[in-house]
Amino acid sequence: MNKHILMVIQWLNDKESVSEEELEKIRDEAHAVNTHAAYEVFNAAIAAINGSVSHAACWVNEYFEITGEYRNEYLKELNK
């Protein structure tokens, strides 16, 4: 499970639950990793920093499409 995309999903559900500093950290850590999935995480974090729900959601969707991971597993983790 990718903790960074999980935090962006958390932000999508509750904008106050993730600080801008946390989103910037996600962006920076994703930028340091050279994988295709990191590109989606990086862009989702930037969209969240900019307050763009629709763009962040689009990049989260792209992340799941690229990785083949299941969104439901992430939602279960958030609901614990």
pLDDT single digits (tens) 13-55: 999 999 999 999 999 999 898 788 999 999 999 999 999 999 9
Total count of domains within the chain: 1
State the residue range of the domain holding 26: 3-78
Give the Cα separation of 26 and 5 in Å (integer). Answer: 8
* Three-state DSSP state, 80: coil
Q: What is the DSSP string of the chain?
A: --HHHHHHHHHHH-GGGS-HHHHHHHHHHHHHS-SHHHHHHHHHHHHHHTT-HHHHHHHHHHHHHHH---HHHHHHHHT-
Confidence of residue 75 (pLDDT cuts 50, 70, 90): very high
- What's the pLDDT score for residue 33? 87
* pLDDT of res. 34: 72
pLDDT attached to residue 3: 93
